[in-house]
């Protein structure tokens, strides 16, 4: 027994020591956890992050509370005080936000990267405080980033675009962020948050291409034109530079020799100019005039901005579906989807005419649903057109009504009675008590078919007797409604969706048949009137269009101070 006592005492002492060490370590861990929790909640309560540029996170506050709940908060992006692989990956994407058509300065990418060394430095600031600040700062930036990728940076209503608030999907931002914090493929996962239609991806490819071109700003610096336009076989001091630019933009084949030092505008340059003009919505005549020169000398930085603004607008849209009709205003073109994939072979395309550039005649950007087709319609003249344009002519010319097949109607329905064109009735046109209507016929402003989609703007799609206007490259001629170049094709597309589809022959007969024949659609067809000044094609061609209504300029100004609305 005496021999076992020292050994027993030693074992007992060792156990007590280990227990004390364990309790001490547990106490330190507990204190560390408690300290970290305290700092996390202190940062959240302050709603400010002085360590980064965008210090205020009011918009993200509720989401951050969900990510870092009281008494159960933990770091998402740091392990043992060091950034995780996912943290480094998301920081890389924030720093290179320009790859997505966004600006890294909005997400503090460089600032957050610069803070990484400080996490391992010893200073008067407690490590837990630095870690809490960094982790919450990165979560705040990442929340903004994924919101902007998915929904866009601003609410489209700020830009006066009347698009649906519900895109048919709900992005759970906190769940997505937690997934990203544990992801081994951050870049791939971020791409899944972007719009999943092919022309959006083509637009991103165009962005990367023009970012490369912008690295050489001399490409768009051409010598001034002489006092006249340059044509085939003319001499131009900028012929060599023009050839270089057209090759860079792939309007001339990439293997076109660039050693040609001639100042003569030869047939090769003329062909390249025609390709360039076609891509930019100009008359493709091969003549180097002021309009073409202005486009050629537009800096690539401006082209990049056009692409970024169009990417922003495309993020506002629901995914394509069939049937669906989309009109792109500055492109003067309509697209009808034949399948849920926006491949070019699945689209019906046609030229359109849109509203003039005056404030009261611009075609609005909005979403609606086509519900009815009307063959050989009346034109119910809007009151503003009656008062501003037609009434003065009616008062000057007693025969104006008869010559243009107008009649006066008392009431708002098709069956409302026609009243005589007395002086008193004509005077009542200005108040709207009597309305003006044009009878169906060859000179009817709506042509022989219209497609109704109820909306507050009273805008619809229709044919037109003025077919010659479709030969113009810039087609902003209407009072706001959209004139279509191929009404038979669109009617065939629309009426193929009803329970008893119409044949082309039946449609053609109706377009020449009884006046005001209405056909209701069994299921409304979504219609989106949109505004994008860039359109890439599957061939690799990138088309640019003029900002005819100034919407690009307005959106660029709005994005200087975007309002972030977390979904």
The full set of domain ranges for the chain reads 30-191, 215-298, 320-377+442-531, 380-439
462/452 Cα distance (integer angstroms):
9
- pLDDT for res 506: 97
SS3 sequence of 389-424: HHHHHHHHCCCHHHHCCEEEECCCCCCCCEECCCHH
Q: Point out which residues pair with 366 in neighbouring strands.
A: 162, 529
Quick one: fold of 215-298? Muramoyl-pentapeptide Carboxypeptidase; domain 1 (1.10.101)
Per residue of the chain (567 residues), what is the pLDDT tens digit?
444 455 545 444 544 343 333 333 333 334 445 688 888 998 888 888 877 777 677 888 899 999 999 887 789 999 988 999 999 999 999 999 999 999 999 999 888 998 888 887 755 456 888 899 999 999 999 999 999 999 999 999 999 899 876 666 678 999 999 999 999 999 999 999 999 899 999 999 999 999 999 999 999 999 999 989 999 999 999 999 999 999 999 999 988 776 678 899 999 999 999 999 999 999 999 999 999 999 999 999 999 999 999 999 999 998 888 999 999 999 999 999 998 888 899 999 999 999 999 999 999 999 999 999 999 999 999 999 999 999 999 999 989 999 999 999 999 888 899 999 999 999 999 999 999 999 999 999 999 999 999 999 999 999 999 999 999 999 999 999 999 999 999 999 999 999 999 999 999 999 999 999 999 999 999 999 999 999 999 999 999 999 999 999 999 999 987 645 545
On the question of a common fold for 215-298 and 320-377+442-531, the answer reads: no
What is the maximal distance between C-alpha atoms in the chain?
136
> 387 near 428, Cβ under 8 Å?
no
For residues 173, 174, 179, 183, the Cα torsion angle rounded to the nearest 10 degrees is: 80
Nearest alpha-carbon partner for 542 in 211, 96, 163, 150? 211
3-state secondary structure of 476: strand
> 240 near 263, Cβ under 8 Å?
yes
Q: Point out which residues pair with 266 in neighbouring strands.
A: none
Quick one: fold of 320-377+442-531? L,D-transpeptidase catalytic domain-like (2.40.440)
Q: Which residues contact 404 (CB under 8 A, 6 or more apart)?
A: 438, 443
pTM: 0.89
């Amino acid at each position: 027994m005496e021999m076992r006592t020292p050994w027993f005492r030693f074992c007992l002492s060792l156990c007590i020591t280990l227990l004390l060490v364990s309790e001490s370590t547990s106490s330190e861990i507990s204190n560390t956890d408690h300290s970290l929790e305290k700092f996390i909640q202190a940062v959240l309560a302050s709603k400010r992050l002085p360590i980064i540029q965008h210090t205020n996170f009011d918009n993200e506050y509720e989401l951050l509370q969900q990510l870092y709940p009281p008494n159960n908060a933990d770091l998402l992006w740091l392990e043992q005080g060091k950034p995780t692989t996912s943290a480094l990956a998301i920081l890389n994407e924030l720093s290179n936000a320009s790859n997505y058509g966004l600006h890294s300065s909005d997400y503090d990418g460089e600032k957050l990267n610069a803070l990484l060394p400080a996490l391992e430095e010893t200073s008067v600031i407690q490590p837990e405080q630095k870690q809490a600040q960094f982790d919450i700062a990165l979560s705040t930036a990442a929340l903004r980033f994924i919101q902007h990728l998915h929904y866009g940076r601003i609410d489209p209503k700020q830009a006066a675009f009347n698009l649906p608030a519900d895109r048919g999907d709900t992005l759970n931002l906190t769940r997505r962020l937690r997934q990203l914090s544990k992801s081994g493929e951050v870049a791939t996962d971020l791409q899944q948050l972007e719009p999943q239609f092919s022309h959006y991806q083509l637009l991103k490819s165009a962005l990367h291409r023009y970012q490369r071109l912008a690295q050489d700003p001399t490409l768009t610096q051409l010598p001034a034109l002489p006092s006249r336009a340059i044509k085939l076989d003319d001499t131009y001091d900028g012929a060599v530079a023009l050839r270089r630019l057209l090759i860079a933009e792939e309007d001339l084949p990439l293997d076109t020799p660039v050693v040609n030092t001639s100042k003569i505008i030869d047939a090769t340059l003329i062909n390249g100019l025609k390709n360039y003009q076609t891509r930019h919505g100009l008359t493709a005549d091969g003549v180097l005039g002021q309009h073409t020169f202005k486009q050629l000398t537009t800096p690539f930085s401006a082209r990049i901005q056009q692409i970024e603004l169009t990417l922003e607008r495309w993020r506002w849209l629901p995914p394509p579906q069939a049937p669906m009709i989309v009109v792109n205003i500055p492109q003067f073109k309509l697209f009808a989807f034949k399948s849920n994939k926006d491949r070019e072979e699945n689209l019906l395309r046609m030229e359109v005419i849109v509203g003039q550039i005056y404030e009261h005649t611009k075609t609005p950007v909005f979403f609606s649903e086509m519900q009815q087709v009307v063959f050989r319609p009346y034109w119910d003249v809007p009151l503003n057109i009656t008062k501003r344009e037609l009434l003065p002519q009616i008062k000057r010319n007693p025969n104006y009504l008869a010559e243009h097949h107008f009649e006066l109607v008392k009431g708002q329905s098709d069956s409302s009675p026609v009243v005589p064109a007395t002086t008193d009735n004509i005077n009542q046109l200005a108040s709207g008590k009597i309305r003006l209507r044009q009878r169906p016929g060859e000179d009817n402003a709506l042509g022989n078919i219209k497609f109704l989609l109820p909306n507050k703007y009273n805008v619809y799609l229709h044919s037109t007797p003025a077919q010659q206007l479709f030969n113009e490259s810039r087609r902003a001629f209407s009072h706001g409604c959209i004139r279509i170049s191929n009404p038979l094709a669109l009617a065939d597309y629309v009426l193929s969706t009803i329970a008893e589809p119409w044949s082309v022959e039946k449609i053609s007969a109706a377009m020449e048949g009884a006046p005001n024949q209405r056909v209701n659609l069994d299921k409304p067809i979504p219609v989106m009137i949109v505004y994008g000044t860039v359109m890439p094609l599957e061939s690799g061609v990138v088309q640019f269009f003029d900002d005819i209504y100034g919407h690009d300029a307005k959106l660029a100004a709005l994005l200087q101070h975007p309002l972030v609305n977390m979904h």
